[in-house]
Amino acid sequence: MSNLLENNAYRILGLDTTASQKEILRRYKEIINRLEISDQPVYELDIDLPKNFRNEVSVKNGLKELQSAKGNIREYFFWFQSSNGNDKKALKFLIENKPTKAIQIWKDLSGGNTVSSLLYKKNLAILYCLILLKDDNSKYLKDSLSIWKEIIDSEKFWDTFSKSYSTQNEQTISEENVSRFKESVAEELSDIYADLGQRHKNNNYVRNFQEVFGTHGKKTEKDVMQPIYDEISTKVEQLKKIKITEEGGKDSNTTRIIKCENCGFVGPDDGFWGYDDNSIICDKCYQKIGEQWTEKVDKKLQKLGIDEDKRKWYATILKIDEIIRDIEKDLSKLRKTGLYDQPASKVVRDRVAEVIRERSVELHNFGALYDDADRLIRVAAKISGTESYKSGLRADKAKIQQTMEEDTKNLLTVEISGFFSSKYVEFKPRFVEYDGLKILYKDATEISLSGIRSNFSTTYTFVVVSNSSQISFSFSNNDIWGKLSGLSEQRIIPVIIKKICDQIFDDDETISIGGLQLSKKGYSRQKFLGGTDDVSWEDKIYIPRFSQGNVVVYKDRDGRGSQFEIIPMSTLNAVILPGLLKECVERAYSKGIYTPKNNLSQAQSTSGTSQMNSEEYYEKIDRAERPRLLREFLDNGGKKLTETEINALLLLRTNGSNYVHVDSQILGQLVEKGYLKREGGFTSTYVIQAKGYKILNWVLYKYK
């Protein structure tokens, strides 16, 4: 996302607004020449520039804006104006990274209603907004809004502004240009604040903006817009209450009217039966015609081409569509009254787009329902109001398209030649099908991939097992082998690893793979002459390797990995061992069973550093780290974490950027508090910030 302030053309060119067209052009050429030789120029006013901010495209666009009469005035308005020694002094503090001193100067000078004080005020408001790009600060938010409001409403300011604009700028100034800009400036500002609010996931930006700039008190606002906004709000809340998970859809709305579709009975909602097509019948009708109703629904869904594996989400998708249709009716009322593009309406439209986007992300991530995700994101893009938000959604759309394309590419149909006839294996987005048998990837419990070499060729065998069925076939094409192992790595093996880790660490079970037993404590094997040989998760763990049709598991002996157990790859789940051991170490660590240390190694590693036991380790942390960590924990911007948030951070650390199991609201809170950073658009990776890691170390210590 971007906004006028962040991507201001003067900022891109490293100039203040006193620069002449000649200087602008000279600076442009200079930057382009230096970029060509990969030399990133740095200028005085470069304060906290975003990454890759200055590139060929942004510099060209910047120049273009400044050369157009309409763009020029916008860029000029939303950037620092260095009119005299005082401004220079303030800007110098900014360059020295002392923003509070710069604020003080402009603040001291902006008392009263003199011509120069109004221009200082504008600089001050711009500085506040630049700081808000980075830091969520409620005082700066309020102060900046009241300044903007004051100067925009001041005739004196516009007089001064248009005079200084025409003297400092050779653009032919028409009064008309200035007055047209004056009309649109509130809208430009509303975009900036909507963008800031989204960055910090903080509704106060929009709310405060509306309070200050809203046409509050005016007739239209009160009589026309507000009732429509309220209606939309109610529906947005309904959409929020629908949650989509791997298990299907859940609608926790209590206010929806429930009516029997067979007899029309409306009553308390505990006597009703819901069906996969979103139809509902009352208990009386269910007793009478329940079975026929089921058949009818089955037939209907079949006709619509709803796969069995899509059914559990289908009713929810229908509900979402129904609510969106209602919202669209409200939006068309706004359109009819000509209020659709009012700043306040745009903000409301962004809110609608955001909840639709959330549902789309869920359909994409949990259900692999790419078509529906794509459809919803398009709806969201159409509804969204501000340009900055629209561009975010465009990125989302592209991301979904990419997933869909990759998915079709990854789809695989393999012909398995038989004695009498051929059979086909098909890998679909959510399941594998062979010879009339179907296994959903998420139901897989065991897998094997192996090859037997004879004199002339290799025969490969693929087996995947679920609780209710098994698919198994052989083939000899090496390319198919490559594709199959890729698909398994992506879709099947992670599922099985997660299940087995849950069994081991949550249910305290012991799991056997070949001759290897895995438990909460570690892994072990039976010794030839009785007794067991054990490896603890606390030991140095070597990642198993594939070698000559076997999986080799290691044990640490004097800092070297020595062979511990050899399991044929044809053994069920042998091929998941490398990933499984990695995950087990992570789980043992995150559950606080063992201390954090770098105990994952490649088999060749010969590192012989002596290892401390856990008590020594914690003692060491206690002495060296505890005071510092505790201090940071307590004064980390005054932002304490709740138990839930701490658990979410721990989970995120275990699962890397996979935030699937964490509620999006919690993620938002963590971003707001600065423990997490959001990267990218759609599948949204979240990264734990440095200070988040510090907290986790401290928490692990405390809970031990």
Largest CA distance in the chain: 98
> Measured on CA atoms in the order 75, 78, 82, 83, is the torsion positive or negative?
positive
CB distance 343 to 186 below 8 Å: yes
Give the position of tokens 């002996």. 557
**Cα separation of 63 and 27, whole Å?**
10
**Cα separation of 519 and 534, whole Å?**
11
Choice between 286 and 427, CB closer to Zn ion: 286
| Contact mark string toward Zn ion, 247..286, x via CB under 5 A | -------------x-xx-x----------------x--x-
Instruction: Say how many residues touch Zn ion, by CB under 5 A.
Output: 6
CB of residue 281 to Zn ion, shortest distance in Å: 5
CB of residue 326 to Zn ion, shortest distance in Å: 24
Choice between 263 and 660, CB closer to Zn ion: 263
Choice between 83 and 278, CB closer to Zn ion: 278
Report phi then psi at 633, rounded to 5. -60, -40
Beta strands in 189-235 (DSSP E): none
CB of residue 283 to Zn ion, shortest distance in Å: 8
| 294 touches Zn ion (CB under 5 A) | no
Residue list 456-485, contact with Zn ion (CB under 5 A): none
CB of residue 264 to Zn ion, shortest distance in Å: 7
Beta bridge partners of 554: 563
Choice between 53 and 265, CB closer to Zn ion: 265
CB distance 79 to 188 below 8 Å: no
Closest listed residue to residue 684, CA positions, set 397, 396, 382, 354? 396
Residue list 301-330, contact with Zn ion (CB under 5 A): none
**Cα separation of 498 and 495, whole Å?**
5
DSSP 294-325: HHHHHHHHHHTT--GGGHHHHHHHHHHHHHHH
CB distance 330 to 232 below 8 Å: yes
CB of residue 256 to Zn ion, shortest distance in Å: 17
Q: Which two tokens stand for residue 500?
A: 């087995």
* 549: alpha, beta or left? (left if phi > 0; alpha if psi -120 to 50): left
Closest listed residue to residue 584, CA positions, set 638, 535, 533, 531? 535
Nearest 10 degrees: Cα torsion 311, 315, 321, 322:
160
Choice between 260 and 670, CB closer to Zn ion: 260
DSSP state letter for 530: S
Choice between 260 and 569, CB closer to Zn ion: 260
Choice between 137 and 279, CB closer to Zn ion: 279
Residue list 346-385, contact with Zn ion (CB under 5 A): none
Q: Which two tokens stand for residue 702?
A: 């405390």
CB of residue 294 to Zn ion, shortest distance in Å: 15
Choice between 258 and 603, CB closer to Zn ion: 258
Choice between 268 and 305, CB closer to Zn ion: 268
Choice between 282 and 439, CB closer to Zn ion: 282
Report phi then psi at 630, rounded to 5. -65, -45
**Cα separation of 259 and 268, whole Å?**
10
Residue list 183-202, contact with Zn ion (CB under 5 A): none
Choice between 282 and 501, CB closer to Zn ion: 282
CB of residue 273 to Zn ion, shortest distance in Å: 10
CB of residue 259 to Zn ion, shortest distance in Å: 9
Q: Which two tokens stand for residue 423?
A: 């059979």
Burial class of residue 392 in the structure, from the number of CB atoms within 10 Å of its CB (0-12 exposed, 13-18 middle, 19+ buried): buried
Q: Other CB atoms closer than 10 Å to residue 373's CB: what's the count?
A: 26
Choice between 284 and 557, CB closer to Zn ion: 284
CB of residue 274 to Zn ion, shortest distance in Å: 13
> Measured on CA atoms in the order 144, 150, 155, 156, is the torsion positive or negative?
negative
Choice between 263 and 395, CB closer to Zn ion: 263
Closest listed residue to residue 3, CA positions, set 141, 196, 212? 196
CB of residue 258 to Zn ion, shortest distance in Å: 11
CB of residue 295 to Zn ion, shortest distance in Å: 17
Give the position of tokens 């800007």. 91
CB distance 242 to 251 below 8 Å: yes
CB of residue 265 to Zn ion, shortest distance in Å: 5
CB of residue 275 to Zn ion, shortest distance in Å: 13
What is the binding site for Zn ion (CB under 5 A)?
A: 260, 262-263, 265, 282, 285
